[in-house]
Structure 1
């Protein structure tokens, strides 16, 4: 486990881990984790700020009926990432929605098992 991942797992103890470090069920989960690490390293937020925001996101989801079985953990991680990025004005909510929509369009045309690549036309829909 690298130093950044180790720091994150100490600061946010709910991260799913095994003896080697964080565990991800799907590639997008690892990508969301890596984005949070990169933004933390750039000083966008502290780990205590992240942990508080993630805790609030999980509570919101539980209040809305999330059964909290662990399968949705990285969905909460991603929602927290989006909220903090917007709150810190790293990117606007509109920009985040634009990229999410473009990603959905790219995923729709990409065969299963093939890496998703964003193209300019994905942003024009």
Structure 2
């Protein structure tokens, strides 16, 4: 019998992979100078208030949907990713995802 203690895996920091991805993208864009962190905080707070998210958040989908909405807002307002282009790309991605057989790689055909 081993004297080694039982080690359990830590709880995940993010509940979903896309939460981590949108967080990392935001940090990367901030670090590259696309926006300041204080600007991010101001806009994110406004989006949370607009969405009526005034309760304590647990880092779930409601929080990261607001996070994503803020990122899209900043990029659209700064002309980096106009809303019409983002919506078109989102629609194209959804169409490609729905048309791809289960287990196959989703490919987005770009013009």
In which range does the TM-score fall when normalised by the shorter chain? Answer: 0.7 to 0.9
Match of 2:31 in 1: 41
In the alignment, what sits opposite 1:26?
16
TM-score for both structures, normalised by structure 2: 0.73
Which structure has the larger Rg?
A: 2
The number of residues matched between the two structures is 98
Q: Unaligned 5+ residue runs, structure 2?
A: 1-9
Task: Report the equivalent of 2:84.
Answer: 94
Q: CA RMSD in A?
A: 2.6
Q: How does 1:4-23 map to 2 (within 5 A)?
A: 23=13
Quote the Cα distance in structure 2 between the aligned partners of 1:29 and 1:97: 19
Work out which structure has the larger RCO, using CA pairs closer than 8 Å and 6 or more positions apart in sequence.
Answer: 2
Question: For each residue in 1:14-63, what CA deviation from the matched residue of structure 2 results, as whole angstroms up to 9, or x when unmatched?
Answer: xxxxxx9x82111111111111012111111111100111100000000x
Structure with greater helix share of residues: 1
